[in-house]
Structure 1
């Protein structure tokens, strides 16, 4: 695990000149960002701008070919995804990635897998050893169920609950990993206005209750400007704006990236 005692309290995660390409396509071009302790940091941009590629670099799915990623001062860009998770980084996905056919409770419990240490010896002495560990995991799951108000669907198959609730289950599963740094990849995608408002509230509640730092990828600019402390905007793999949410979103380069320049419109 990362030694957080010796790390700067200011910068939780730092990307230094991170680049990633696939064949002849450079998806991320020398991106540098620094995310501070306790903030909600927005990562926005048009489709194909490199947002998810950067997140995949941070989480170890597609390590950067150039640059360095540091978490609490320690480089993590050469770690495998499960090792990154063990450092205290959890994520949700743009497309819901739940285990169909399993209950809401069992899906959330899967978030505890990084703490589980199965062994033949533990199974042999289940009633004395393994059962105690299982109870502790379930107690943590119950805390998250209460926090995200999922009691009413806890025993339902995850397939049959609405999309907005499924997104909340995925958030619960990520929180059960006890992260210090939470990455949310378009948590509002496909939601109606009421579901978005619920999700915003639960993200803010989780951040406050659990002391989280959050990296939020989101297309809904009303959400970004409402809850993000700072924002970085990407376009074609490059950083085109950075700063307080409203200032960054209203930057002329950002407006041009989303709706085109006047010459383009003509």
Structure 2
């Protein structure tokens, strides 16, 4: 049986197989193996510079691996461009808020529907008969997400003026607007206070249940990781040094040494 059949048979939604990524003489990922199962929240943790975001960028097509394979739902995707990866059903948020300033919350979320939009001169010419129906359908989808993430009170506000915790929620909403089956969250709680973190955890869990998502979560807040992740992998210097349940993984001696040995980097 080939690897593609095996990943499908085992219920693995996303598999990284000996993924290597270099930047010049720096080997940022050193043969990473991961298997993320359908419906789980999988945590990816490690000190700053350990390779977490590089791995996410490899999965999403921004920095394709030079060696190894990335398999999503039984098909290799490591040769695809980012827009092609998104079209397969993978969406992400970013470590730093990447919203469009000067635009409303609603319009930012609508941008998440771009992979479904087919603009054309002909559609514009017959707007009232053709394009308007498509626009209404997109807005209906977005309104459901606004309701799910409780953004009604700020839907028409410019994203510049709402608090950081709310901006992070808008970014999550934009990712959900793409109707992903696999969602990557890159430090969604960064910069939040405890109350905002608790809200975000609730919305992530609500979205997972309502939309049947598989989630890859990069997070420095270990209380969040242990609370919601089914399994965790720990990276250090581009290598996977531990994997298992959250509580077991963070107690691994290699993990303790990685964090204590780099106390300036550890969360």
Q: Common fold, TM-score beyond 0.5?
A: yes
Provide the residue aligned with 1:58 in structure 2.
Answer: 59
Does the 8 A contact of 1:30 with 1:67 survive in 2? yes
The CA deviation at 1:8 is 3.7
1:233 aligned to 2:241? no
Query: Per the alignment, do residues 150 and 78 of structure 1 end up closer, same or farther by CA in structure 2, a change over 3 Å counting?
Result: same
Residue 89 of structure 1 is matched in structure 2 by 90
The SS at the match of 1:207 is: helix
Q: Tell me the equivalent position of 2:173.
A: 172
Aligned residues: CA RMSD: 1.1
Q: Compute the displacement of 1:125 (Å).
A: 1.2
Partner of 2:260: 259
Q: Distance in 2 between matches of 1:176 and 1:220?
A: 26
Displacement of 1:9 in angstroms is: 6.5
Is 1:209 equivalent to 2:210 in the alignment? yes
* Counterpart for residue 75 of structure 2: 74
Tell whether the 8 Å contact from 1:8 to 1:72 is kept in structure 2 after alignment. Answer: no
What are the superposed Cα offsets for residues 91-111 of structure 1, whole Å, 9 maximum, x if unpaired? 000000000000000000000
Structure 2 portions without partners, runs of 5+: 1-6, 263-267
CA distance in 1, matches of 2:23, 2:206: 38
Could you list the per-position Cα deviations for residues 39-64 of structure 1 after superposition, in whole angstroms to 9, with x for gaps in the alignment?
A: 00000000000000000000000000
Residue 259 (structure 1) shift: 1.1
Residue 152 of structure 2 corresponds to 151
Aligned to 1:166, the other structure's residue is in SS state helix
* Unaligned stretches of 5+ residues in structure 1: 1-5, 262-266
The match for 1:17 is 18
Match of 2:110 in 1: 109
Tell me the SS of whatever aligns to 1:241: strand
Q: 1:29 to 1:141 in 2, by over 3 A?
A: same
The answer to whether the Cα contact below 8 Å between 1:9 and 1:37 also exists between their aligned partners in 2 is: no
Aligned pairs for 1:181-192 within 5 A: 181-192=182-193
Match of 1:131 in 2: 132
Q: CA deviation at 1:260?
A: 2.3
Q: Structure 1 stretches (4+) deviating beyond 6 angstroms? A: none
Aligned length: 256
* Structure 2 CA distance for aligned equivalents of residues 112 and 169 of structure 1: 14
1:7 Cα deviation from its structure 2 partner = 4.1
Q: Using the TM superposition, give the Cα deviation of residue 128 of structure 1 relative to its aligned residue in structure 2, in angstroms.
A: 1.1
Instruction: Please give the alpha-carbon distance, in whole angstroms, between the structure 2 residues aligned to 1:29 and 1:161.
Output: 40
Normalising to structure 1: TM-score of the pair?
Answer: 0.95
Stretch moving more, 247-256 or 202-211: 247-256
- 1:219 is matched with which residue? 220
CA contact (8 A) 1:60 1:84 kept: yes
